[in-house]
Structure 1
Amino acid sequence: MHKTLIVTNDFPPRPGGIQAFVHNMAIRQPAGSIVVYASTWRDGTEVAEFDAEQPFPVIRDRTKVMVPTPRVTRRAAEILKAEGCSSVWFGAAAPLGLMAPTLRRAGAGRLLGMTHGHEAAWAQLPVSRQLLRRIGAGTDTLTYLGEYTRSRIASAVGPQAARRMVQLPPGVDERTFRPDSGGDAVRARLGLTDRPVVVCVSRLVPRKGQDTLIAAMPQILAEVPDAVLLIVGGGPYRADLEKLVDATGVRGSVVFTGSVPWEELPAHYGAGDVFAMPCRTRRGGLDVEGLGIVYLEASATGLPVVAGDSGGAPDAVLEGETGFVVPGTSTEATAERIVRLLRDPELRARMGEAGRRWVDRSWRWDMLAERLTSLLAAD
């Protein structure tokens, strides 16, 4: 049996997008083919109980943040040999991919590094750019989310490593995110049954653009007076957004749910008529959207989407077919597209149906996991 060692700092039950990406790919690999070496994250029974439920062994390092120190690298090499693994998959290529030369000497015949949004930011800084070049030289394949991240990372890793890059984005479970996901019940619970709903599902941080949506609400309400903005998620920007709601005078037209359990997210997408997250790039390009899986989850739920133009977010939208891309800082453009969709039910339906077809064709977890399986087993 061909076996792969996953070396990752990002693994559940630690929350986060990379963690979910790695885990969803791992559980879809052939039985008996995966061993995980991951950080501990935090003490307590939660981690042990999670590990016991997995269909593969999970070996935890004592550190809460795993970096490629000599000790961690030696331990990874020991696990590789003890478990009989012939390939290595770095959950995030930077920085753990720096272990690649040592693990190759330990017997790894195939080394793959997943890249995410943060590697695109690394590519802009001189020191981290040099580290990316070393990672590219040491691995056989680097994956990328979309064209934006590919172009940024390729410029840093050099032409040879760039030619070996393969697209491997996170997927969407189309059986979970679907038009009949329970949105009517969420609407009823929140008192939104008879109102047009613009929904945004995301962590509350400045890059995601919830403030742009709130600022756009007066313009939206001038055209669609009973519209409501449903903001789903928690985060450190909540207090600032609440103040903006009051300053804008739209308190009766904005609803915050706070954080909701993962299993309730599909229903909260389904509570919307339009999905909008006008994300924007910040900090000179260091704070940027890598892909924006929320747009694809919304598409799978049958909603048209309005996306910001930050980083790889446009890679998750077929412009004019599944939704629209707007400048992430433009209140006017955001409001115009949302109003157009709210006032045109046929356009909403057409874009929602196109989005669901696109997800089924190109973004299903099972299909993408098969791509990973073939990359790990390649000669």
Structure 2
Amino acid sequence: MVAAAFIGPGTVTTATVVGAGFGYALLWALLFSVVATAVLQEMSARLGLVTRKGLSEALRETLAGRWYGTLAVFLVVAAVGLGNAAYEAGNITGAALGLQGISGLPGWVWALAVGLSAGALLASGRYTLIEHVLVALVLLMSLVFLLTFLMVRPPMGTLMAGLFQPSLPPGSLLTAIALIGTTVVPYNLFLHSSTVQEKWPQNLPLGESLKAARLDTGLSIGLGGLITLAIMSTSAAAFFGSGVAVSAVNIAQQLEPLLGPAARYFFAAGLFAAGLSSAVAAPLAAAYAVCGALGWDRGLSSPRFRLVWLGVLLCGTFFAVIGTKPLAAILFAQAANGLLLPVCALFLLLVMNQSRQLGDYRNGVITNLLGLAVVLVTIGLGGLKLIQVFGLA
């Protein structure tokens, strides 16, 4: 589920826009994002397996009886619950984006269809098989990007410079935040801490569960980073410096070296699969986060749990149906995630240092320093953007 949320339409769209607009200059932001994701998701999985609680539930218990405990609950509900409602619009819009281009039907029809499909999957409670099919389609699309990457053969010197020489070309700050937001997805911290409990039940030895979860997390995050690198590189080769603006019509152009005229159809199917899987994951994560924060039942059949994911899904579907510019909607959702990330990461660090809940499995010095570095970098990027917005620089 975390992997399905990681490789969504926002990843494809944002990485394409980054490569088209700035070439390889922002690859450092991708490298940072992959490392940050690995650090935070490992903490999240460890929390869920050791305490058998979700992040928001552990946070609520940690801050119980303190005056700022209520504020923390409010921030979780606002940042993850309301934030995912905005993010959901990007998921649904992204899924509808490709289908609109090959069908001739208006985008709102496909947005409504995606929203209804995601709702049916969540309402059934039996979406595992469908999710596997969607992930298989996403991986198939990813394979094509990787093959195209090998065919494009980007210059290694330029690639290495982009990865290890950080820079922010004029006008690239919001895009860099969006790239971080599409990789280090804040709601995945809440989703992961809850879903690991389903994948590795309490009757399994804790040491084996932790080892398996770390391997699983590392493989999925590594693959996600490689895919994003491939998309950015193929987009840079296809669009950067060409004077051609990226749009819903030509976004599949980067696949043409491998697929030819079939690129647009293949891209549409993959983007739909990625969007639908993410459209399921985002409301589910919001439900886990909000219900855990408020002390409600986190069971899939709980009326309150269903009410939360339904609210997020309806909100996202509504804004996708009324029609916003597709690429703008997805980029806005990713940038919002980048700005929300420091708050969620601080919550996670706070909980992961509680000896009462985690005992010997609490964070060590190195893990805390890595987590703090993630928080500081994301706060810095978000602060720069706010300064720009208010005209102070």
Quick check: TM above 0.5? no
Structure holding more helix per residue: 2
The structure, 1 or 2, with the larger RCO (C-alpha pairs under 8 Å, 6+ apart) is: 2
Structure 1 length-normalised TM: 0.21
Q: Which has the larger radius of gyration?
A: 1
Structure number with higher strand proportion: 1
